[in-house]
Amino acid sequence: MELYEILTALTFLAAVFGYINARFIKLPTAIGLMLIAILFSLVVIGLSYFDDTLYQVELSLIKQIDFEEVVMNYMLSFLLFAGALHTHFQQLKNQRWPILLFATLGILISTFLVGTLTFFLLAALGIEVNYVLCLLFGALISPTDPIAVLGILKKANVPKKLETKIVGESLFNDGVGVVIFLTLFGVAAKGSESIDPLEIAELFGLEVFGGILLGVFIGWVAFMLMKSIDDFSIEIIITLATVMVGTVLAHKLHVSAPLAMVAAGLVVGNDRARSAAMSEVTERYVDKFWELLDILLNAILFVLIGMEMLVLVYDTNYILAGVLCIPIVLLCRYLSLLVPVKLYEKKLEFVPRTNLIMTWGGLRGGISIALAFTLTADMHRDMFLILTYIVVAFSILVQGLTIEKLVKRVLK
């Protein structure tokens, strides 16, 4: 199947599923599309017992899509830039210290807590897995997904201060989580070879700080170019080129592309840059363009997540472990947020039960699944894919549907 045909098929399915959701089910877009895609895949699997034609067509489509490459190398940069572009910069600046701790210390704590508890869980189920591989699972499942979070929180009526914390954390912890995952992946790949802690620290520092510095630089270049002209169409193209060129440069320089795109989006989208570089017409068109692109990519991504269940290897022990991982991941997220929340809750006037709301509102999504797909066969890829998929599906379908009720109940 040609690339154009694959894109056509995915866009067609996103349009059909989106219409069904908007016309009949009326759930938040991300939740509705993923739910319908899962139900569609289940129907296809059921029909395959009588006639497997449709099953083979869908399976062929999914197998031709490299989920990890599509999400990590193509979609993620555009989605993170769009999210950062529309983030309220002043609110983000006011909450910068707790957000920084959530996205760094919080992710590290969660990675080791999830990894450790998962290691003991799998051992109790009779599944022998190296501890480092369990840490890899902790790293890929700990970051909250800005793609899932942004879309659902808009409809949940979360207080603005709290929404800024959750969105800001998800924008940055995504990049940090990817760096931690890649670092642990390198450790796991070396196996019994000696590990140099200094080498790990250098890699981590280069990925994180290098990514942020690159993002600030390309964002500044885009800002200066946009400031020197007044043509909304060219300025939109400049923002598009910023993401594409910035992503290529990040990969060439071996720095974090996700963090680079977040930094670039914040530089271009902050209030001062907007007032200095964009006319009212340009600002309106830039925002609408990135909002539309964000919606389109989100729709395709969540259709993909729902359909990926066709390529999973189902094993009773794996499914049981995945279900038991749901409370483990939630508990570890709650514990990982305790220190930042306690440090700043009085100084920054956190809303009541911030930790509880952030735990339940910290949704996982396509990034976790994409990272799980990068695991090799000898890293128990099939098992960790099942664990990841179950946690992500619960996160989006259950947590995403109930976060608004939780917020109303806690804050009433």
Q: Residue 100 is part of a domain; what is its CATH number?
A: 1.20.1530.20
d(CA 29, CA 298): 9
Using left for φ > 0, alpha for ψ between -120 and 50, and beta otherwise, residue 191 falls in: left
Q: Are 371 and 347 in contact (CB under 8 A)?
A: no
Q: At 236, which helix (H) or strand (E)?
A: helix 232-253
| pLDDT attached to residue 40 | 94
Tell me if residue 2 falls in helix, strand or coil. Answer: coil
Amino acid at the residue 116: T
Say if 229 falls within a structural domain. yes
Say if 23 falls within a structural domain. no
Per-position pLDDT tens, the chain of length 412: 688 898 899 999 999 999 999 999 998 888 899 999 999 999 999 999 999 999 999 898 898 988 888 888 888 899 889 988 988 777 788 888 888 899 889 999 999 999 999 999 999 999 999 999 999 999 999 998 776 676 676 666 677 777 788 888 888 887 888 888 988 888 887 765 555 677 677 777 888 899 999 999 999 999 999 999 999 999 999 999 999 999 999 999 989 999 999 999 999 999 889 999 999 999 999 999 998 998 898 889 999 999 998 989 899 999 999 999 999 999 999 999 998 888 887 776 777 888 998 899 888 988 899 899 999 999 999 999 999 999 999 999 999 889 888 888 887 7
Structural domain total, the chain? 1
| pLDDT attached to residue 159 | 76
| pLDDT attached to residue 147 | 65
Say if 61 falls within a structural domain. no
Q: Are 181 and 371 in contact (CB under 8 A)?
A: yes
Q: Are 247 and 265 in contact (CB under 8 A)?
A: no
The pTM score is 0.91
Say if 339 falls within a structural domain. yes
Among residues 126, 32, 69, 64, the alpha carbon closest in space to that of 247 is found at: 69
Say if 241 falls within a structural domain. yes
Say if 31 falls within a structural domain. no
Tell me if residue 75 falls in helix, strand or coil. Answer: helix
Say if 317 falls within a structural domain. yes
| pLDDT attached to residue 384 | 97
d(CA 394, CA 390): 6
For the chain, what is the radius of gyration of the CA atoms? 21
What is the number of alpha carbons within 13 Å of residue 204 lying toward its C-beta?
A: 16
Number of C-beta neighbours around residue 349 at 10 A: 8
| pLDDT attached to residue 343 | 85
Q: Are 99 and 168 in contact (CB under 8 A)?
A: yes
Within 8 A by CB and 6+ apart from 194, the residues are: none
Say if 158 falls within a structural domain. yes
Handedness of CA 123, 125, 129, 132 (dihedral sign): negative
| pLDDT attached to residue 151 | 64
Q: At 15, phi and psi to the nearest 5?
A: -65, -45
The number of angstroms, rounded, from the C-alpha of 405 to the middle of its chain's C-alpha atoms is: 23
Tell me if residue 269 falls in helix, strand or coil. Answer: helix
The number of angstroms, rounded, from the C-alpha of 105 to the middle of its chain's C-alpha atoms is: 18
| Parent domain of 386 | 67-411
Question: How many residues are given for the chain?
Answer: 412
